[in-house]
Chain A
Amino acid sequence: MGGGPSIIRRPSVEKSNTELTTALRANFLVSQQAAASSTSNGASTTPSKLSYQAWTAREDSTLYIPTLDFAHSGLAEERSQYDITVKLFYLPGVPSSRRCAQTREAIDLVLRELHVPSIDLLIVSFPGFSFDADDEEDDALSEPDGEVDGIPEDGSGSESGVGAEDIDTMIETWRSLEKLHDEGIISRLGVSEFGTARLARFLGKTRIRPSVDQINVRDCCVVPKPLILYAKQEKIELLTHNDCTNILPRGTLRELLGSGEKGVGVLAGPSGEGEGLRGDVEPQWVVKYTAVVKDRGVVENKGYFAVAELGE
């Protein structure tokens, strides 16, 4: 099952999970309306009574919500004018073994959407941990200089975050990114939410090093000095973001697709009413893409794709 692309135009003041759900909902509604006006031959059909099948598409076992159409979008100017950044969110509770295929699929969708052969920067977000400036200060104090390499690599230690996976699992995922880099599809790779210690452990095991670490600095600009210094030393750009790590919680998606008041009727109601699909939705990944005109600083295209699995 696939979520649809969406050019975000109403920027929400909230974090990007609100932005994502708002965008998805808006895109669903627009597609519903479009389908309603085309199928009804001028007679009025309220979009909400319209079968989801009229505005979605099934290909094999995949349902595209709404139907994807890559004929039109894309960019107004030639590729070299843009800085294209993609951020891929691996969601919690999804086996990491699937990520290689997921990454390919996500990048492929973005390339088709923007009509480009490559992207400039891919940042990945691993589930289960987020950067915390306070922890980081403590970390730095408790870690004498030069001993970062000696930190145990089991992923526990001073690194915080419930459900954070170990470095080796992340590196496994990283291998598939390195391959995309080798193929020339991605120019630069990046990670997000990495503190100094995690970064240090991670770097040693990469073949293609991340050139970006994206952290959430919220309002106060308290980025720990050690991280700034370490990033400088390792020539890693520290970029800012305002995303949630868990960008698409299961409940949110269920509500969005469901038959309730706020839903679009793709999923059946709680007791199986309606023509919608039955089963549990399990969000798998979300990808966000942004195309910025380099010498004008204008965000020309921005959107998301999301994929969820429908279980029994």
Chain B
Amino acid sequence: MDIQNPKFVCRDVRVHYGDFEALHGINIDIADRGVTAFIGPSGCGKSTFLRTFNRMNDTIEGARVSGSVTMDGQDIYDKGLDPVLLRARVGMVFQKPNPFPKSIYDNVAYGPKIHGMTSGKAEMDALVERSLRRAGLWEEVKDRLKIAGTGLSGGQQQRLVIARAIAVNPEVILMDEPASALDPIATAKLEALIQELKERYCIIIVTHSMAQAARVSDKTAFFYMGDLIEYDATEKIFTNPGDTRTQDYITGRTG
């Protein structure tokens, strides 16, 4: 599929865990704006692939990445590139909400603090408010910024984690099954938020829910057994897939 001005260009990306090859040479371009969904059965390598974009695989013992991943034309696996700076540009939201056991304010302020992004309390206050507003959480928590982030509901926690990621001004937000621990109402709120965020950020989302992929994404990639089977506009994938394996998966015959 042709994509104009791609954010990421991946060529022959392979990931090994020890002797096991989890991804067998993935080639994909990811659009600069909008939502790209990765779908596929458990163990197909979609989460592993997601973690190559912010080099979180580096933290896993025995994981090796080969091939090339470029972001805006720059190789993110370049030896001279510090993954710490990459992760400031590529934020991540995990499956299980993981706010720090600190106040809501400190959760959002943590990222800007470690990168030295603000000077003075007023600037930090403004940044915290802006991030919480963009994550759609401000109205719910503005009067209790000092309470622990872990005291919020699951859906609020997940939006707090998004606010925390937004605070460091990333260009990309990776989401690894962000709604799998949430109830339908919280999921709906989260999906609405994703729709708003895609105007500003490049969003890549891994999901087990095909309905969710169909609702929120613009493009969908189907992974199976470590291979990228099909990658196309979401509408095309869900109405007229080009591969029988994709067809079997989205109609519920496999996976």
Our verdict on whether A and B bind, yes or no, reads no
**Chain A interface (Cβ < 8 Å from any Cβ of B):** none
